[in-house]
């Protein structure tokens, strides 16, 4: 079991990448041939083809010594251009940052979240302009003051110049990121420690569970210690230092509790997400729960006191991870239909662990048969038959994995072929004891290796082994959630219930997020240096910045437009609709004018499609939300795509940079 | 697609790089008479962003530079000397014509191993100091660390900058920058040195050193192409010169040949008294010649230069065409056929 829902497939990604790069290169060659035809006549394309092998040749003859020489030059240049002033700004920000961020009235989780977000945002947005401007201005400046003339008249290759530049800026950027990242870490740690004035922790003192409650207020320090069943001992001191002097043993105890509390606040939880589905009041599966009015709602609801259930299916629950039990963490949102005195009361909730078996059936020709047509054979208990085209044929059962199944039209079907209904059989059901949830806090449910429960059928208490009895052969475990209070609705989304693996340390999650910032800046360097090979400094900076904006903020919007999901048609059509005040849902009149408009819009849409596919999806680099919310950064969802994107852009950018530098006169105009 | 935009503005260099397999070392072979630089019908038109012609900087220039000679490019400001050099180095792309330099095309990178270039102004990295500068360029030649250390010391010593070795170039005076520029051009011990106005900004001593250096380079069998406005210097060091005017070649030849006027004799002696002078006139008249002037000698290249420029101004369109450079270009055809 790992925290990944869907593993990132590098092979598939590489395939897609190769396809995209090939398409890009073909487009580039076609464009260049067309241009060459215009400038050089019929022999133009020939010229283009003569140029093609030069890039790989140049790359193969790359000399590391020259690359490092240029990288070092770039680095020195940036340093001597006072790029390190950014450190000063960083320091300033942090000196005053705590003034604005410290808010003793805020809950500790929110404060911690603020600190982490602040640090990661500050690092990103301080370094972004520095890195962007440096990498976009380096080469154009070199061309402007013609110092590049003395370099290209030496045996330095164009790829060496480009790679050297990229390397130089990246080195500088790496140093900046590492230093700022470390400073940020220390700062977060200190701020949280400083603001942790109230905590209560259960710690182990000589084998005895001891509750230490600590409050540090203006009036003084109060410590309450409850060891086992003994009565609570209350100690007060004027200050923390006073406590330390007066009662060193107690101080040591509070210190231990404090460190534990710190570890709880600064943590990288590793959630294993399951897939969510619902079961309606009629007992049939459905994709979504009850809607409480807001169609944009992220959560859907199950009704309390009914047969509504929310269902999570977890995969890879193998003995390696579950032998010592599992930890389920949940936080649900309640929607009350009646308000009253009981508003303070918490909601009663029940989990059930279910072992299910998912199967599809195949006939003798290995064709998959939908489970709706399958029944048990009359002759043989373990055999199945189905009616296909009016005839009864023998079929055999095959297991399917949970991630291949989804709910559609009130039945479980294969994702790849929604026509095929999957048979889901419930083999064992173990309802756990109900519990009250707090509405915002997190509920922790510990599943021991042995599950004891009350079996309603037999009316007895039963004990089952978690891994061997409740997890099915494919290593899957189903958790069903019911709300027992009628009149209440409980909101659920995929992330609201997860299996918690032992947490990583905060440092791990934080370093991954810093890594994300680093890779994003690396990509900016690559894009910036490339842009600066064919554009002047300001324009190159603008282009790179626009790429960043589009790739960060406009991506979802672009996806919608390109996917045709936006109402009111393409850009021209929407302008006309606005000018003529035609409602977006109205049909446009059918005439040549409007069909021309639609045609142009279609063309523009193609353009947007290209833009969407050329601009890197910078959203992948945003890992701060994971860390700020106390989660580890998953490899497949965040780390791998980021590494992939940065590497993927390197090769096409080098191609563009090489030909831009080779085909232009390096003369300032 | 933005790349094509950039390509659009420039002429794509048509010339082809010679593949590594093809005769790489032939041009340097001493037995061949192959010129070190061969320029045929070279034209350059500077264009603006939209591709509209702005200036015709060179017009159908043809000339050869032979191995081991010091070649001077002369001409008034804006006549196309720097343009020619940049074309030779592949910094600019020709609008027409062909260049072969050390047997390679101008855009070939490998030829740079054997070339040294001193730009018109020293376009160096101002934030580096002299030692770092030379070390950087040495690394571009893929020299080992030990080799670089030795050369950096030697060339800094040679250009007389040992005292300012650790100061950043932005603090340098014009002449000092020029000196470090020269060291940078020579660091790889090049076979062909292109010097664009090497003596500007140098003090008399530096100028003298520069001239000595050029002569020493020639003695070592190197080829030097230089342009300069200091005609006295050119006259002192150049074997052959070309005079450009508005992008056209107006004079080309050996300095002595160009300066020797076969129909005239000039007499130079130590100071004579009037009686002796009269006697000499008498002797000349006896041989049927007449005395036109007897004067103190002037810098005669200056005369040639001024005359050429004057004539070109009066009678535009006349161009010098060397006998060995046919107007039709069979050379490019041969180049194309590889
Ligand atoms: N980058 C450029 N863009 C446009 N025109 C240029 C450019 N560089 C040079 N020219 C023009 O080309 C012509 C030749 O210039 P070039 O620099 O070759 O002259 P030059 O002989 O070196 O002159 P000088 O003795 O002043 O150095 C001039 O008319 C100049 O204005
Ligand atoms: Mg010049």
pLDDT at B55 over 70: yes
B 8-67 residues inside an 8 A Cβ radius of A = 8-14, 16-17, 48-49
Asked if A348 and A494 sit in the same domain, the reply is: yes
Stretch A8-17: mean pLDDT: 77
Q: Are the beta carbons of A665 and B91 separated by less than 8 Å?
A: yes
Task: Say whether A54 and B17 touch across the interface (CB within 8 A).
Answer: yes
Candidate from B4, B125, B139 with C-beta closest to A31? B4
Which of chain A's residues have a Cβ under 8 Å away from the Cβ of B112?
Answer: 153-156
- A379 conformational bin, left if phi > 0, alpha if psi -120 to 50, beta if neither: alpha
Cα gap B211→B234, rounded to integer Å: 9
Residue A200 included in any domain: no
Does residue A152 sit at the B interface (CB-CB below 8 Å)?
Answer: yes
Residue B247 and residue B56 in contact, taking contact as beta carbons nearer than 8 Å: yes
* pLDDT tops 60 at residue B298: no
Question: Are A236 and A282 in the same domain?
Answer: no
Which H helix or E strand runs over A361?
Answer: strand A347-362
- In which residue are the tokens 């990121």 written? A177
A395 within a domain of the structure (yes/no):
yes
Q: Is A145 on the interface with B (CB under 8 A)?
A: yes
Q: Is the pLDDT of residue B257 over 60?
A: yes
DSSP A487-516: TEEEEE-GGGEEEEEEEEEHHHHHHHHHHH
pLDDT at A6: 59
**Per-residue pLDDT at A640:** 83
Ligand 2 geometric centre to CA of B91 (Å): 14
Phi, then psi, of B115 in degrees rounded to 5: -120, 145
> Are A544 and A136 contacting, i.e. CB atoms less than 8 angstroms apart?
yes
CB distance B57 to ligand 1 below 6 Å: yes
**Structure confidence at residue A83 as a pLDDT band (50, 70, 90):** confident
- Strand partners for A198: A215
pTM higher than 0.95:
no
Residue ID of nearest Cα to ligand 1 atom 17 = B82
Minimum-distance ligand 1 atom for the alpha carbon of B76: 25
Interface contact B11-A39, CB threshold 8 A: yes
Which phi-psi region, left, alpha or beta, contains residue A410 (left: φ > 0; alpha: ψ -120 to 50)? left
DSSP H or E stretch at residue B126: none
Q: Please check the confidence at residue B332 and state whether its pLDDT lies above 80.
A: no
What residue has token string 């008034």? B76
Same domain, A458 and A425: yes
Is the CB–ligand 1 distance for residue B77 below 6 Å?
A: yes
> What local confidence, expressed as pLDDT, does residue B272 receive?
77
> Across the interface, which of A40, A69, A666 has its CB nearest the CB of B140?
A69
Predicted pLDDT of residue B293: 64
Q: What is the reported pLDDT for A161?
A: 93
Residues of chain B above pLDDT 90, percent: 20
Decide: B79 in ligand 1 pocket, CB within 6 A: yes
Q: Please work out whether the CB of residue B294 comes within 6 Å of at least one atom of ligand 1.
A: no
Q: Are residues A347 and A492 in the same domain?
A: yes
The Cα–Cα gap between A66 and A71 comes to 8
Per-residue confidence at B264, pLDDT binned at 50, 70, 90?
A: low
Residues A447 and A305 in one domain: yes
C-alpha of residue A665 to centroid of ligand 1, in Å: 15
Residue A2 lies in a domain: no
Domain count, chain A: 3
Question: Collapsing DSSP states into helix, strand and coil, what is residue A657?
Answer: helix
**Residue A199, SS3?**
strand
Q: Enumerate the β-bridge partners of residue B168.
A: B129
Instruction: Using the atom order of ligand 1, give the atom closest to the CA of residue B80.
Output: 18
Query: Confidence class of residue A645 from pLDDT cuts 50, 70 and 90?
Result: confident
B75 C-alpha to ligand 2 centroid (Å): 9
What is the model's pLDDT at position B265?
A: 64
pLDDT beyond 90 at B137: yes
Strands A333-336 and A488-492: antiparallel
Distance CA A498, CA A512 (A): 21
Same domain, A423 and A467: yes
| Confidence band for B2, pLDDT divided at 50, 70 and 90 | very low
- Quote the ligand 2 centre to B78 CA distance (angstroms): 7
- A546 CB within 8 Å of a chain B CB: no
**Among the three residues A219, A234, A265, which one is the final residue of a domain in this structure?**
A265
Query: Do A304 and A257 have their domain in common?
Result: no
Structure token digits, residue A207 = 């084998």
Query: Between residues B186 and B324, which one has the greater pLDDT?
Result: B186
Answer yes or no: are the C-beta atoms of B80 and B56 closer than 8 Å. no
CA–centroid distance, residue B328 to ligand 2 (Å): 29
Confirm if B78 and B133 have CB atoms less than 8 A apart: no
Average pLDDT, chain B: 78
Boundary-marking domain end, from A486, A502, A518? A502
Residue in A26, A32, A63, A150 to test binding to B, most B beta-carbons within 10 Å: A150
Residue B6 has pLDDT above 70, yes or no: no
- Look at strands B192-196 and B223-227 and give their pairing: parallel
> What would you report as the CA-atom Rg of chain A, rounded to the nearest whole angstrom?
31
Q: What does the DSSP 8-state code read for residue B142?
A: T
Stronger pLDDT, A614 or B316, i.e. the higher one: A614
Decide if A10 is inside a domain: no
Q: CA of A648: how far to CAs of A614, A640, B214, in Å? A: 11, 12, 51
Provide the residue range defining the domain that includes A367.
272-502
Do residues A56 and A81 share a domain?
yes
CA distances from B114 to A159, A575, B89, B155 (A): 20, 62, 12, 17
Q: Which residue lies with its CA nearest to atom 30 of ligand 1?
A: B78
> For ligand 1, is residue B46 a contact (CB within 6 Å)?
yes
A493, A513: one domain:
no
Q: Is residue A28 part of a domain?
A: yes
Residue B322, pLDDT > 70, answer no
Q: What is the pLDDT of residue B7?
A: 40
Is A405 a domain residue?
yes
Sort out which chain A residues have CB atoms less than 8 A from B124's CB and list them: 147, 150
Where in the sequence of chain B do the CATH 3.40.50.300 domains occur? 37-128+172-259
Interface touch A663/B124, C-beta < 8 Å: no
**Mean of the per-residue pLDDT values of chain A:** 82
- What's the pLDDT band for B266 if we cut at 50, 70, 90? low
B37-128+172-259: what CATH class? alpha beta
Q: What angle do CA A417, A420, A425 make, to 5 degrees?
A: 125
Testing ligand 1's pocket by substitution, the residue of B42, B51, B57, B305 carrying the most ligand atoms inside 8 A of its CB is B57
Best CA proximity match to A123, nearest among A515, A509, A507, A504: A515
What pLDDT does residue A7 have? 61
Task: Place B336 in a pLDDT band, splitting at 50, 70 and 90.
Answer: very low
Q: Report CB contact under 8 Å: A147, B124.
A: yes
Q: Is the pLDDT of residue A96 over 80?
A: no
Domain match, A296 and A228 both: no
All residues of chain B having their beta carbon less than 8 Å from the beta carbon of residue A54 are 17
Range of weakest confidence among A180-194, A311-325, A618-632, B24-38: B24-38
What are φ and ψ of residue A589, in 5° steps?
-60, 150
Strands B70-74 and B240-245 turn out to be: parallel
Atom 19 of ligand 1, residue of closest alpha carbon? B78
Residues A87 and B253: their CA atoms lie apart, in Å, by: 62
Of the listed ligands, the closest to the CA of B196 is 2
Indicate the pLDDT class of residue A514, thresholds 50, 70 and 90: very high
**Both tokens assigned to A629:** 């919310």
Query: Nearest Cβ partner of B109 from A73, A150, A155?
Result: A155
Are A460 and A231 contacting, i.e. CB atoms less than 8 angstroms apart?
no
d(CA B233, CA B227): 10
Domain boundary among A475, A502, A529: A502
Q: Are B172 and B150 in contact (CB under 8 A)?
A: no
Q: What spacing in Å lies between the alpha carbon of B200 and ligand 2's midpoint? A: 11
- Paired sense of beta strands B240-245 and B248-254, if any: antiparallel
Choose the weakest-confidence range: A36-50, A53-67, B148-162. A36-50
CB within 8 Å: B140 and A156: yes
Which residues from chain A sit within 8 angstroms of residue B136, using beta carbons?
A: 69, 72-73
- A529 pLDDT tier (thresholds 50, 70, 90): very high
- Are residues B13 and A663 in contact, defined by beta-carbon separation less than 8 angstroms? yes
Contact criterion met (CB < 8 Å) for B91 and A666: yes
> And the tokens for B82?
């720097």
Q: What are the pLDDT digits (tens) for B194-253?
A: 999 888 888 888 888 888 888 988 998 899 999 888 887 788 888 888 888 888 888 888
Percent of chain A past pLDDT 90, that is, above it, reads 12
CB A211 within 8 A of CB A225: yes
Cβ contacts of residue B99 below 8 Å, gap of 6+? B15, B37, B38, B39, B40, B42, B87, B88, B105, B106
pLDDT digits (tens, 9 = 90+) for A460-474: 888 888 888 888 888
The answer to whether the CB of A494 falls within 8 A of the CB of A271 is no
Residue of A nearest to B143 (CA): A65
pLDDT-derived band at A253 (thresholds 50, 70, 90) equals confident
Whether residues A643 and A541 fall in one domain: yes
Establish, for the pair of chains A and B, how many residue pairs have beta carbons separated by less than 8 Å: 122
Distance of CA A463 to the CA centre of its chain: 38
Interface of A with B in 31-60 (CB under 8 A): 31-32, 35-36, 39-40, 47, 50, 54
CA closest to B1 among chain A residues: A28
Which of the four pLDDT bands, split at 50, 70 and 90, describes residue A223?
confident
**Helices (DSSP H) in B117-230: which residue ranges?**
130-140, 145-158, 174-186, 204-219
**Token duo for residue B94:** 């020709």
pLDDT digits (tens, 9 = 90+) for A101-148: 766 666 777 788 888 888 898 889 888 988 999 999 989 988 888 889
Q: Chain B residues with CB inside 8 Å of A531's CB?
A: 2
- Mark whether A562 and A482 lie in a shared domain: no
Q: Which tokens is B261 given?
A: 């006027």
pLDDT of residue B323: 60
Ligand with smallest separation from the Cα of B57: 1
């Amino acid at each position: 079991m790992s925290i990944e829902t869907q593993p990132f497939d590098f092979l598939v990604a590489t395939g897609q990448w190769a396809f995209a790069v090939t398409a890009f290169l073909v487009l580039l060659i076609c464009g260049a041939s067309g241009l060459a035809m215009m400038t050089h006549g019929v022999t133009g394309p020939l010229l283009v083809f003569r140029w093609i092998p030069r890039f790989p040749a140049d790359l193969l003859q790359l000399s590391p010594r020259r690359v490092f020489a240029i990288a070092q030059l770039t680095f020195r240049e940036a340093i001597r251009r006072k790029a390190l002033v950014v450190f000063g700004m960083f320091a300033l920000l942090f000196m005053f940052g705590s003034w604005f961020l410290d808010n003793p009235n805020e809950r500790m989780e929110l404060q911690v979240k603020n600190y982490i977000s602040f640090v990661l945002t500050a690092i990103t947005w301080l370094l972004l302009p520095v890195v962007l401007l440096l990498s976009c201005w380096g080469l154009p400046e070199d061309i402007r003051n013609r110092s590049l003339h003395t370099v290209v008249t030496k045996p330095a290759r164009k790829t060496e110049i480009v790679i050297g530049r990229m390397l130089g800026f990246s080195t500088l950027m790496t140093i900046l990121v590492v230093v700022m990242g470390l400073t940020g870490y220390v700062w977060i740690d200190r701020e949280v420690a400083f603001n942790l004035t109230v905590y209560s922790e259960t710690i182990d003192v000589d084998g005895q569970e001891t509750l230490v409650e600590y409050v540090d207020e203006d009036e003084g320090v109060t410590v309450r210690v409850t060891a086992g069943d003994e009565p609570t001992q209350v100690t007060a001191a004027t200050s923390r230092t006073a406590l330390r002097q007066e009662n060193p043993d107690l101080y040591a105890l509070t210190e231990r509790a404090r460190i534990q509390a710190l570890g709880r606040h600064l943590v990288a939880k590793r959630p294993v997400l399951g897939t969510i589905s619902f079961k309606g009041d009629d007992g049939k599966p459905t994709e979504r729960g009850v809607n409480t009015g807001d169609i944009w709602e992220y959560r859907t609801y199950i009704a309390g006191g009914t047969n509504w259930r929310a269902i999570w299916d977890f995969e890879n629950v193998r003995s390696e991870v579950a032998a010592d039990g599992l930890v389920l963490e949940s936080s649900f949102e309640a929607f009350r239909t009646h308000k009253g005195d009981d508003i303070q009361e918490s909601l009663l909730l029940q989990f059930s662990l279910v072992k299910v078996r998912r199967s599809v059936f195949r006939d003798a020709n290995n064709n998959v048969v939908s489970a709706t047509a399958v029944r048990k054979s009359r002759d043989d208990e373990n055999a199945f038959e189905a009616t296909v085209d009016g005839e009864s044929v023998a079929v055999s059962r095959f297991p399917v994995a949970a991630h291949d199944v989804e709910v559609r039209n009130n039945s479980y079907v294969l994702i790849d072929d929604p026509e095929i209904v999957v048979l889901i059989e419930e083999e064992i059901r173990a309802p756990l004891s109900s519990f009250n949830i707090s509405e915002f806090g997190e509920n922790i449910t510990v599943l021991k290796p042995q599950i004891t429960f009350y079996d309603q059928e037999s009316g007895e208490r039963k004990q089952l082994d978690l891994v061997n009895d409740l997890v099915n052969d494919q290593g899957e475990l189903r958790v069903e959630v019911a709300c027992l209070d009628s009149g209440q609705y409980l909101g659920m989304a995929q992330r609201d219930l997860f299996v918690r693996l032992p947490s990583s340390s905060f440092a791990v999650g934080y370093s991954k997020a810093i890594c994300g910032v680093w890779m994003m800046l690396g990509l900016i360097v690559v894009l910036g240096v490339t842009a600066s090979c064919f554009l002047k400094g300001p324009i190159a900076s603008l282009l790179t910045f626009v790429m960043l904006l589009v790739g960060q903020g406009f991506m979802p919007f672009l996806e919608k437009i390109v996917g045709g999901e936006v109402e009111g048609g393409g850009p021209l059509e929407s302008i006309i609709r606005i000018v003529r005040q035609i409602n977006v849902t109205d049909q446009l009149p059918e005439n040549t004018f409007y069909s021309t408009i639609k045609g142009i819009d279609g063309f523009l849409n193609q353009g947007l499609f290209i833009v969407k596919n050329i601009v890197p999806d910078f959203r992948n680099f945003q890992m701060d939300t994971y860390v700020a919310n106390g989660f580890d950064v998953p490899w497949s969802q965040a780390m791998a795509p980021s590494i992939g994107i940065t590497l993927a852009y390197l090769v096409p950018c080098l191609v563009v940079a090489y030909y831009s530098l080779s085909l232009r006169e390096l003369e300032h105009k | 697609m933005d790349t094509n935009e950039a390509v659009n503005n420039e002429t794509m260099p048509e010339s082809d790089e010679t593949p590594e397999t093809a005769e790489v070392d032939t041009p340097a072979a001493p037995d061949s008479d192959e010129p070190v630089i061969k320029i045929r019908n070279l034209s350059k038109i500077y264009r603006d962003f939209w591709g509209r012609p702005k200036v015709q900087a060179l017009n159908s220039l043809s000339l050869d530079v032979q191995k081991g000679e010091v070649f001077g490019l002369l001409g008034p400001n804006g006549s196309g000397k720097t343009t020619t050099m940049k074309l030779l180095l592949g910094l600019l792309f020709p609008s027409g014509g062909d260049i072969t330099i050390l047997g390679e095309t101008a855009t070939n990178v490998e030829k740079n191993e054997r070339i040294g270039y001193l730009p018109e102004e020293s376009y160096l990295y101002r934030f580096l100091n002299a030692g770092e500068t030379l070390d950087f360029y040495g690394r571009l030649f893929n020299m080992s660390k030990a080799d670089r250390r030795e050369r950096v010391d030697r060339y800094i010593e040679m250009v007389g900058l040992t005292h300012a070795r650790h100061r950043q170039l932005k603090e340098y005076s014009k002449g000092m920058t020029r000196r470090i520029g020269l060291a940078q051009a020579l660091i790889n011990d090049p076979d062909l040195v292109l010097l664009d106005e090497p003596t500007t900004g140098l003090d008399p001593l530096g100028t003298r050193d520069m001239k000595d250096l050029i002569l020493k380079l020639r003695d070592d069998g190197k080829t030097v192409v230089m342009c300069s406005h200091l005609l006295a210097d050119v006259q002192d060091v150049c074997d052959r010169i070309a005079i450009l005017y508005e992008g056209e070649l107006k004079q080309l030849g050996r300095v002595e040949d160009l300066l020797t006027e076969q129909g005239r004799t000039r007499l130079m002696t130590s100071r004579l008294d009037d009686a002796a002078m009269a006697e000499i006139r008498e002797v000349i008249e006896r041989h049927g010649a007449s005395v036109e002037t007897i004067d103190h000698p002037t810098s005669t290249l200056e005369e040639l230069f001024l005359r050429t420029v004057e004539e070109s101004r009066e009678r535009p369109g006349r161009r010098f065409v060397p006998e060995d450079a046919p107007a039709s270009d069979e050379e490019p055809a041969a180049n194309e056929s590889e």
